[in-house]
Amino acid sequence: MTESLTRTEAGVVSVRAADGVAVVTIDNPPVNALSDGTLAGLEAVGERLAADDAVRAIVLTGTGSKAFAAGADIEEFNESLADVAWLERHTALTRRVLSLWETLAKPVVAAVQASAVGGGLELALVCDLIVADPSARFGFPEVTLGLIPGAGGTQRLPRAVPQAIARELVMLGSLVDAEKAYRVGLVNRVSELGQAVAEAEALAVRLAALPAVAIRSAKRALQGAGLPLESGLDVERSLFHHVCASADAQEGVSAFVERRPPSFGHR
């Protein structure tokens, strides 16, 4: 992948993009804490990628071997815990940024190169696919600090794994390793040691090669799975009609009938 590196003004989120894939890296050592500055960087990058038609798939990862991402900067949080106004601003910012990444029309693959706990797991949960390094651990230890997850963890985790597992992770503050996370359906793949980012990029390359209209529509249809069945079926039908009218659908069906490889233009 040819690199084109751009850093945000916050200085903690970088982007390199080529051939339809953008790799976004959180770089806020030592644990990539989701400080207000980091969140601002993620928001700026997310908005930019949403508007960039050349990007058709995204990898989200972090630097270092300690954490994919951590929750709020603990020193920042400790100093402001009793400041109701700061807490309201921080939680509103966190919710806005995570919602932005969750609702991106383009598929997002989380490359969890190190542990994703607390806010880091909440960030991973808004991604479409998760690739984990075998050394990674996952969980919500907030109750051990007298807290609870505050950025969607209590709501998104039970939608991703069985209720019994979600209760164990949230109410006991337990952590699970990558293999158990895979077994319970929290992650899609466990990579070879040290290869989470590479494997996530390979998945993103595959996604970027597929017709963009179909991929975007498939993501929106899957997001409708939380609706009542009839409402979800209505969403699916509308999106199905939309993709049928696309140039890539015509090309894909014609190529199948003519027994040739399709040539998608992502329109």
Q: Measuring CA to CA, how many Å separate 80 from each of 41, 85, 91, 146, 242? A: 21, 9, 12, 16, 48
Alpha helix ranges (H) inside 35-83: 36-50, 74-80
Which residue among 41, 46, 119, 152 is the active-site one? 119
Q: How far apart are CA 39 and CA 126, in angstroms?
A: 14
Alpha helix ranges (H) inside the chain: 36-50, 74-80, 84-102, 119-125, 153-160, 163-172, 178-183, 196-209, 212-223, 229-244, 247-257
119 flagged as catalytic = yes
Which residue among 10, 22, 72, 212 is the active-site one? 72
Which residue among 43, 122, 199, 201 is the active-site one? 122
122 flagged as catalytic = yes
Asked if 25 and 41 touch (Cβ cutoff 8 Å), the reply is: no
Which residue among 43, 142, 199, 201 is the active-site one? 142
Q: Which residues of 169-186 are buried (b: 16+ CB within 10 A; e: fewer)?
A: bbeebebbbbeebbebeb
The set of catalytic residues is 72, 119, 122, 142
